[in-house]
Structure 1
Amino acid sequence: MRISVLDNDNVQADLICQVLNGAGHNCQAFDNGKDMLGQLRKDSTDLLIMDWQVNDVPAQEVLRRAKEKMAPNTPTMFLAGSAAEDDIVAGVTAGADDYLVKPLRRGELVARVQALLRRAYPSQNGAEQLQFGPYVFETRPGRLMMDGEQIDVTHKEFNLALLFFRNLGRPLSRAYIHESIWVRETAVPSRTMDTHVSRVRNKLRLRPENGFRLVPVYSYGYRLERLGA
């Protein structure tokens, strides 16, 4: 899905896009309302996420003008400070579909975005099939195939493997992996993640002779590499 993000804070905007791109979306960030509205005149978006404290145009005006340019069913989400109750009231009153309170939590961001998209586009909620070389992921049944043969994986192993393939070549921090896979589990021992990574590596045979390599990144996390790419 195409997602537009409006945020004056470039660091936060980059983080949002990193998380949502990792979840399989196509995210584009804007640091001012004028540029974002200009883009909406030329191209459509499937979801708008905007910080309520934009600098160049009042947030209510940005949201009103954006809704004029987007399809009627396009959902909108805004970001508000933890103590900004007035912003929350104003955003909901202006017609936003949902909101998140900063600081953002990656797992919650993905979950809330997916919920909005499911409600807005029910006809597109069928099983998704993603292929990476010999590996085929079928998201609705949670089935994983390699060269046409099903691999026996648990739900978390499936999600972990898909996370690595969607971020092929990109180092993922342990914190990012934790928040993406163990969303509601706060106290996950380090060895639990390492065990799951080891199982994914073995079950999917992520070895150089098969063209992929899942390696640790010292003091950071893990990275899935495609060899010879």
Structure 2
Amino acid sequence: MRIALLEDEPEQSQHVQRIICESGHSCDAFETGQSFLSSVLHNNYDLLVLDWQIPDKTGIDVLKNVRAQINWPVPVLFLTQRDSETDIVSALDAGADDYIAKPARAAELIARINALSRRSQSAQNTAQLCFGPFVINTQQRSVELHGEALVLTDKDYELILFLFQNQGRLLTREALLERVWGLNRSINTRTVDTHMSRLRRRLGLNPDNGFRIKTIYQRGYRLEALSQQALSHKSPEPDKGVKQPQVKAANGR
């Protein structure tokens, strides 16, 4: 997992980073709420760890900004010296998923992180996901558009699933290469751009179906919902009076 840490005390930040990295995860650390939010808004993180007392904002303010501005359910863990019942309730009510009092104990911290990761993956791996006219079946690894099955390559399916699971989130080319293709972030390739162009044309990711893939200049891509119906993840009844063309692609399995 890629984790973002907000901690203004250098010694404490290094301690937490070391625990996280030794467990096999990666961790980017930030000392201010503004730098943390800027990175979280423009990068791909699987989990956020927040301190409460930081120089420019409170951890609660940062958490509220995350929940208000980012349209994906990233898990958030508070790690702070404030451990009163009132503080814990305030953090959970603001959208935190878990809460640990400092000092961080390595085994407990990693256990909490892994538990949050499992819960997040379980929520994302629901057998059938509905996004407007798109229905994704994660057990059958299939996608339907207006009730018509799309014939997909493995990479097409994995890319579509990742886009919809991170709807509204900026996904850098490096993050897509790592998650979908399993390639190192330092590799410079046009693979992502080629696949995105193909998905736009052939899989109906366009305003007519309530979604678009937006290119963010020099950054990456973001799948955007263009209607409240699409945003609510409810699949509408197909219009039986209009025949939808079936989309076909070569089977890459």
Aligned to 1:57: 102
Aligned counterpart, 1:20? 46
Cα distance in 2 for partners of 1:147, 1:113 equals: 36
Structure 2 residue 198 is the aligned partner of structure 1 residue 199:
yes
State the partner residue of 2:170.
171
Structure 1 vs Structure 2: percent identity of aligned residues?
A: 29
| Aligned equivalents of 2:125, 2:213: Cα separation in 1 | 30
Counterpart-to-counterpart distance in 2, 1:125 and 1:167: 10
User: Normalising to structure 1: TM-score of the pair?
Assistant: 0.54
Cα–Cα, structure 1 residues 224 and 125, in superposed 2: closer, same or farther, change >3 Å? closer
Following TM superposition, by how much is the alpha carbon of 1:207 offset from its aligned partner in structure 2, in angstroms? 2.3
Give the Cα–Cα distance (whole angstroms) in 1 for the partners of residues 215 and 109 of structure 2: 45
How far apart are residue 184 of structure 1 and its match?
Answer: 4.5
Structure 1 residues 36, 150: CA separation in 2 closer, same or farther (over 3 Å shift)?
Answer: farther
Equivalent position of 1:145 in the other structure: 144
Name the structure 1 match of 2:118: 117
Structure 1 unaligned spans of 5+? 51-55, 61-90, 100-111
Counterpart residue identity of residue 117, structure 1? R
Give the gaps of 5 or more residues in structure 2.
Answer: 8-29, 48-69, 229-253
Distance in 1 (alpha carbons) for counterparts of 2:209 and 2:182: 31
Secondary structure class of the residue paired with 2:167: coil
Q: Which residue does the alignment assign to 1:39?
A: 88
Match of residue 217 from structure 2: 218
Q: CA deviation at 1:181?
A: 1.7
**Residues 157-203 of structure 1, C-alpha deviations (whole Å, 9 max, x = no match):** 22211222233334322222223223345565522111211222233
Q: Distance in 1 between matches of 2:125 and 2:185?
A: 31
Equivalent residue for 1:159? Answer: 158
- Cα gap change, 1:181/1:40 in structure 2, threshold over 3 Å: closer, same or farther? farther
| Other structure's SS at 2:218 match | coil
Deviation of 1:133 (Å): 0.2
Aligned-CA RMSD value: 4.5
Q: 1:49 to 1:142 in 2, by over 3 A?
A: farther
**Normalized against structure 2, the TM-score is what?**
0.50
Given the superposition, is the C-alpha separation of residues 130 and 186 from structure 1 closer, same or farther in structure 2, using an over 3 Å criterion? same
Q: How has the CA–CA distance of structure 1 residues 48 and 226 changed in structure 2, closer, same or farther, with 3 Å as cutoff?
A: closer
